[in-house]
Amino acid sequence: MKVSKGLVTEIQRWSLNDGSGIRTTVFLKGCPLRCEWCHNPETHSMNPELTYNRKACRMCGDCAETCPENALKLSPGGIVVDRNLCTACGLCAKKCESKALSISGRVMTTDAVMHIIEKDSIFFRYSGGGVTFSGGEPTMQKDFLESMIDECVSLGIDTAIETSMHFDWEQTKTVLEKTDMFFADIKHMDTKEHERWTGAGNETVLENLKRLSILGKNIVVRIPLVSGLNDTEKNIISTAEFIRDSLSVKGVELLPYHKLGKDKYTLLGKKTNDSLKRPSKEKIAEIEKIFEGHGIEIMRFG
């Protein structure tokens, strides 16, 4: 077995929203994009990060005294973390009895991840499920990802990747060829708007989608919907036409914006865009009709 290791933020067992059947979802750290609506900010960085929960803090100051980098200061409003000094060594988290401090991202070996995955293999078989690799952008840890997929393939476990499609095709191709299914994002058809809201244009995304489609893989296009941002009739029609004319996919899954990840930003000391809103039920229904009118099935999981 090719032993590898990487950074994992979470392993979610009994997941019903990341593909068919009962699945185990492995969340990997690292993402090349910075989508304004992202609900997994803990997966952005390729490094472990310190999280701080003010509500759980006892204001004892032990963590600040423990920190070898002097990155923590006790203030009347709670612990202030200097992110430029913090190395996420974890000493403060170990000292914190109230568990107000923790480290997001832990190094795991392929063996360790597979040990957890194999516990659910019987449920995969009976439900038609498997393993979904998510993030962040899981292809950023290509070697680690490939080593886990190789093990899943050897055990006959179905694999899926949730991806932004923003990656170097040639460097990632071997992983893609081994994977059974993909949940691939199309965030916006206008490259300037795509760059405005994610930090990068969409040329690589759309080209990689065409290449992935040629491989004959099972693809579900995921579209995060944010009111006034990418739910306009013009953008939805453009997206539907691109999918119909350029891709071969199982269908489209619509992901209306939600604020469930807001607390994660607070824990990491990051700011959120509070102006973003979820499209109305009526708007979502209109969007579904547009896709169906272009012969594209609306997919629902969970």
CATH number of the domain residue 73 falls in: 3.30.70.20
- Of 78, 104, 130, the domain-final residue: 104
**pLDDT per residue as tens digits for the range 58-92:** 999 999 999 999 999 999 999 999 999 999 999 99
pLDDT tens digit sequence for 181-200: 999 999 999 999 999 999 99
226 in a structural domain: yes
**Domain shared by 95 and 126, yes or no:** no
* 33 domain-assigned: yes
Query: Is it the case that residue 278 has pLDDT exceeding 90?
Result: yes
Judged against a pLDDT cut of 60, whether residue 1 lies above it is answered with: no
- pLDDT on residue 17: 82
Q: Are residues 72 and 174 in the same domain?
A: no
Torsion of CA 188, 194, 199, 200, to 10 degrees: 100
Residue 298 per-residue DSSP state: B
Tell me which residue range forms the domain holding 67.
49-104
Q: Tell me whether residue 231 is in a domain.
A: yes
Banded pLDDT at 3 (limits 50, 70, 90): low
**Any domain includes 298:** no
**302 is a domain residue:** no
207 and 98 in a common domain: no
Domain boundary among 87, 104, 121: 104
SS3 224: strand
**Domain stop point among 86, 104, 122:** 104
Domain for residue 299, yes or no?
no
Same domain (yes/no): 266, 141: yes
Could you tell me if residue 218 is inside a domain? yes
Instruction: Name the residue among 191, 192, 195 with its Cα closest to residue 203.
Output: 191
Stated pTM of the model: 0.94
Do 169 and 191 share a structural domain?
A: yes
**18 — pLDDT class (breaks 50, 70, 90):** confident
67/197 same-domain check: no
The reply to whether 146 falls in a domain is yes
| Residues 133-156: b if buried by 16+ CB within 10 A, e if exposed | bbbbbbbbbbebbbbbbbbbeeee
pLDDT (tens digit, 9 = 90+) per residue, 21-61? 999 999 999 999 999 999 999 999 999 999 999 999 999 99
Tell me: do 169 and 264 sit in the same domain: yes
Total number of domains in the chain: 2
Q: Note the pLDDT tens digit of each residue in 112-163.
A: 999 999 999 999 999 999 999 999 999 999 999 999 999 999 999 999 999 9
